[in-house]
């Protein structure tokens, strides 16, 4: 099939995101990604240089965090938990970060950067003690990422069985305490 270069780049990137999300960095091979995209492996190199370049493009994730100062303070915990559930079930971005960040140092560095740049400032704007903002953001990350790990990656049966409402009801108060109490 004949495409424009932009189309080809996009097709490759979509396949790459799915593979990195499903398999992690090492097992997501250029050959497999090219096969999914229905093109030759050399096309991947042509447009992204090497595997690292492709990964960098695939792992460019925006958490799309909501403005927590615009909602009632007692609702920030539940709101953030619900938002991350949407993010996890929406696209592969979070899965890419988690699956690759665990065995790839540059991916872990990217994960640190994303949380420092996006979750950190959000928590800081919530007010309270500025000196504690980083700590509170870190605590929040442990609970949010832990839920994602158990539910979407390790697939622990009792965690998979939980409904969306159950998760918000149980984790909401935890994140509320970490964020604002």
Partner DNA sequence: GTCTATAATTCGATAGAC
Partner DNA sequence: GTCTATCGAATTATAGAC
Q: Kindly state whether residue 52 participates in binding DNA, applying the rule CB under 7 A.
A: yes
From 4-12, 67-75, 156-164, 165-173, span contacting DNA (CB under 7 A)? 4-12
Q: Which stretch binds its own copies (CB under 8 A): 5-13, 37-45, 67-75, 96-104?
A: 96-104
Task: List the structure tokens of 116.
Answer: 């420092």
Which of 10, 22, 43, 150 binds DNA (CB under 7 A)? It is 43
Q: Provide φ and ψ at 72, rounded to 5°.
A: -55, 135
103 binding DNA? (CB under 7 A): no
Give the single-character DSSP code of 74: G
CB atoms within 10 A of CB 49: 12
Which of its own copies, DNA, none has residue 39 at its interface (CB below 5 to 8 Å by kind)? DNA
- With CA atoms as reference, report the closest residue to 63 among 108, 136, 118: 118
Regarding 39 and contact with DNA (CB under 7 A), the answer is yes
Contacts of 45 (CB under 8 A, 6+ apart): 30
Distance CA 151, CA 155 (A): 5
Q: Shortest approach of DNA to residue 58 CB, angstroms?
A: 13
151 is an interface residue for its own copies by CB under 8 A: yes
Window 113 to 142, contacts with its own copies (CB under 8 A): 115-116, 134-135, 137-139, 141-142
Residue 99 touches its own copies, criterion: CB under 8 A: yes
# residues contacting DNA (CB under 7 A): 21
| Interacting span for its own copies (CB under 8 A) from 37-45, 52-60, 76-84, 151-159 | 151-159
DSSP class of residue 126 equals T
Contact by Cβ (8 Å): 78, 177: no
- Give, as one character, the DSSP assignment of residue 168: H
């Amino acid at each position: 099939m004949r495409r424009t270069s932009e189309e080809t780049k996009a097709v490759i990137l979509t396949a790459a995101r799915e593979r990195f999300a499903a398999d992690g960095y090492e097992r997501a091979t250029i050959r497999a990604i090219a096969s999914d995209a229905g093109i030759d492996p050399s096309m991947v190199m042509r447009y992204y240089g090497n595997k690292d370049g492709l990964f960098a493009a695939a792992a460019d994730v925006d958490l799309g965090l909501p403005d927590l100062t615009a909602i009632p303070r007692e609702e920030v915990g539940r709101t953030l938990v619900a938002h991350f559930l949407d993010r996890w079930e929406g696209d592969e971005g979070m899965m890419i970060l988690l699956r690759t960040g665990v065995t790839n140092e540059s991916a872990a560095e990217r994960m640190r950067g994303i949380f420092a740049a996006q979750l950190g400032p959000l928590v800081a704007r919530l007010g309270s003690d500025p000196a504690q903002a980083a700590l509170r953001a870190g605590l929040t990350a442990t609970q949010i990422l832990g839920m994602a790990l158990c539910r979407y990656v390790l697939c622990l049966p009792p965690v998979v069985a939980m409904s969306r409402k159950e998760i918000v009801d149980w984790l909401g108060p935890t994140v509320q305490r970490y964020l604002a109490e």
